[in-house]
Structure 1
């Protein structure tokens, strides 16, 4: 996993984790990145400072507790998505298509799709959107 500091053309700064540098590049080429604050799709990597251990409250907080308002909003979004939809993993594109075609009952789902799968779904009029977080099973 790799974390990048990102900025959008509207000046919002945020960070995100990616499976690898190549995964970031593929998502960027496919237009699948968007600002966590305003949704702008014109996102680029920002200059990053090295990670330095801090003393005090933020160091004691731990990795599982969100610290700033954006982290708290992202954690709340994750909780809502996971509580209100079924995780279908790598079968996301097939499940979304089956629901669209009436082959399976409609329900809220989330999972993973390759960029080309997501593009085909959108081209076929099937509404999908990338989530600004990785599934828990793929995070450290």
Structure 2
């Protein structure tokens, strides 16, 4: 696993338009696992393919090693399922995300759905097949989704 400080980047981290490289000339995009750590604490671990986030990203709470969020990425954009956890490690949100847009979000309390937010129309938008499959999952299947 490569440390983020050992890589070179081009683009804007805030906009998500960042590409990571192994060389100062920014000519060799990095592919592999990356760890972003500071002061002995791992902030996040993520996969890069050809310099772009592509695969799973795990973000950890500031004051512990517990997960804060696990998300799927494709070419620097959230694409798939995202799960968010509270400071005790309890699952509080499960979402289906397409190109950083949250299409369906379940809010949970003690593993029970207490709120559902849906912002999609399968008949109006041409979603990728993978996103359509995820949107069709039952609440229970989405909660139990494994990365």
User: TM-score when scaled to structure 2?
Assistant: 0.24
Q: Tell me which of the two structures has the higher relative contact order, counting C-alpha pairs closer than 8 angstroms and 6 or more residues apart.
A: 1
Query: Counting helix residues as a fraction of each chain, which structure ranks higher?
Result: 1
Query: Counting strand residues as a fraction of each chain, which structure ranks higher?
Result: 2
User: TM-score when scaled to structure 1?
Assistant: 0.25
